[in-house]
Amino acid sequence: MYGVDEPWWFFEDWQKDIVAVDEFEDFYQALKHYKHEWLKMAKLFEEYKSQDDLLAAFWEPGDQIWCEECVGYLQQYHSIALLEDWHQLPLDKKRWAYDKKSGKHPAKYCKKHKI
């Protein structure tokens, strides 16, 4: 995904930010692909926040867009998400090893994005 919202928010119309979809029949094949993508993104971007529910956002601090409603800039995120039937994974599929982050996470104060 690519947009101003991190993948864990699931705001209305969140699917408009999807740039690619890979589908798998087996959870462990999907997890292997997620790990490959996560490692690739971690090499490309110094800044990231990743959660144990296999949702992760990566960003470049200068990659921002102007928001008229906020009268300010919003960070753009490159995100990956491992979902099951287009929903967050159930508790038994969480992976604590992915619960990590780099430096500071950008603050958001946009009324449009309810944060």
pLDDT score at 107: 66
pLDDT tens digits, 20-72: 999 999 999 999 999 999 999 999 998 999 999 999 999 999 999 999 888 88
- CA pair distance 112, 5, nearest whole angstrom: 11
C-alpha–C-alpha distance, residues 55 and 63, integer Å: 20
Whether the pLDDT of residue 103 is over 60: the answer is yes
pTM of the full predicted structure? 0.88
**% of the chain exceeding 70 in pLDDT:** 90
40's tokens: 């690739």
Backbone angles phi, psi at 20, to 5 degrees: -160, 150
| Integer Rg of the chain from CA | 14
